[in-house]
Amino acid sequence: MVKSQEHEHPKKAFGWAARDSSGVLSPFNFSRRETGEKDVTFKVLYCGICHTDLHMVKNDWGSSTYPLVPGHEIVGVVTEVGSKVEKFKVGDKVGVGCVVGSCQSCDNCANNLENYCPKYILTYGAKNHDGTITYGGYSDFMVADEHFVIRVPDNLPLDGAAPLLCAGITTYSALRYYGLDKPGMHVGVVGLGGLGHVAVKFAKALGVRVTVISTSLNKKEEAIEHLRADSFLVSLDQDQMQAAVGTMDGIIDTVSAVHPLLPSIALLKPNGKLVMVGAPEKPLELPVFPLLMGRKMVAGSNIGGMKETQEMIDFAAKHNITAQVEVIPIDYLNTAMERLAKTDVRYRFVIDVGNTLKHT
């Protein structure tokens, strides 16, 4: 007989789960494995709400399994470590992002690119090595192999640090890998949401000149005054867009809705790179001719490896970079999801799991 989620592992756990593609979340009893030799167990204090969570609870990508406990921007405090754990001790501030396992033997893993391992294990809704389902950070505690656990530097506030584990590394890795990290370069950021606003912060800290490209003028003041972007382009304003043609070394496109690529490609200098980090559920139209005329590139990037994720959060600590968050109690979760669907948040919801998750 198949054991229920509540009894398949020895440790009783509690969180909030979606039960079907309505996406409605509610309290859920399940279980987690014992702390293994190389495992770190930690009490979850905060968990960010990523746009992916919204797609997953509603099965927008067709890959969801239920019950689904989302959450892959998880921070907390270590409560137990296995006998062979080397990097962490009880009381340490730690985090887990999008990945909790990989084969650790392929070329990608050997090159610290666990995020591109064909056998990587996502933090929720995926299968563990033992075949059981992974559950994310909308829950009271996590158990993870120390290789997939990140140390959170002391000077970073935990609520604002949580989104760095997905939104932060996604944009940081894209800027670094594609070489859009040289002082004096001009980089555009399309979309000023969870990903976009941290992209601006990282790019500025790297010494890059940043232009935010958005459909709505009402984000201009925020982008310039608060996030310290150098300029702002309204993508629907033909005159503004025309004046900026051919001025950018690269663009980080964070938009997860279907949208045209041509306006962004036009903004690139020759050899410019348009890097997609959002995940629209339908294919986008790719105009090839403008790519040829200027040797331009449209590319993608997905989170980052464990080594780079640690590097990213250490860089964030050094430059005082955190996400701008709206902290919510967990019983506000369904309302938060509805607001997120309307992009009614500046810029990331973070659940105060530590203080508001109550066993029922």
Shortest distance, CB of residue 220 to Zn ion, whole angstroms? 26
Q: Residue 265: helix, strand or coil by DSSP?
A: helix
Shortest distance, CB of residue 25 to Zn ion, whole angstroms? 16
**Which lies closer to Zn ion via its Cβ, residue 35 or residue 102?**
102
Please tell me whether residue 198 binds Zn ion under the rule CB under 5 A. Answer: no
C-alpha span between 115 and 307 (Å, rounded): 11
Please tell me whether residue 109 binds Zn ion under the rule CB under 5 A. Answer: yes
Residue 210 in contact with residue 229, Cβ under 8 Å? yes
**Which lies closer to Zn ion via its Cβ, residue 102 or residue 309?**
102
Unique residue bearing structure tokens 């309505």:
22
Please tell me whether residue 52 binds Zn ion under the rule CB under 5 A. Answer: yes
One of 13, 117, 143, 244 touching Zn ion (CB under 5 A): 117
Please tell me whether residue 166 binds Zn ion under the rule CB under 5 A. Answer: yes
Only segment of 46-54, 86-94, 180-188, 258-266 that touches Zn ion (CB under 5 A)? 46-54
One of 13, 40, 44, 50 touching Zn ion (CB under 5 A): 50
Shortest distance, CB of residue 52 to Zn ion, whole angstroms? 4
Listed in order, strand segments (DSSP E) in the chain are: 11-18, 25-32, 39-49, 74-81, 93-96, 99-101, 121-122, 141-145, 150-151, 186-190, 209-214, 231-234, 248-253, 268-276, 297-300, 325-328, 348-352
Binding to Zn ion (CB under 5 A) within 256-285 occurs at none
C-alpha span between 339 and 358 (Å, rounded): 23
Q: Which residues contact 156 (CB under 8 A, 6 or more apart)?
A: 164, 313, 316, 317, 322
**Which lies closer to Zn ion via its Cβ, residue 50 or residue 69?**
50
**Which lies closer to Zn ion via its Cβ, residue 235 or residue 256?**
256
Strands 141-145 and 74-81: unpaired
Shortest distance, CB of residue 302 to Zn ion, whole angstroms? 10
Binding footprint of Zn ion on the chain (CB under 5 A): 50, 52, 102-103, 106, 109, 117, 166
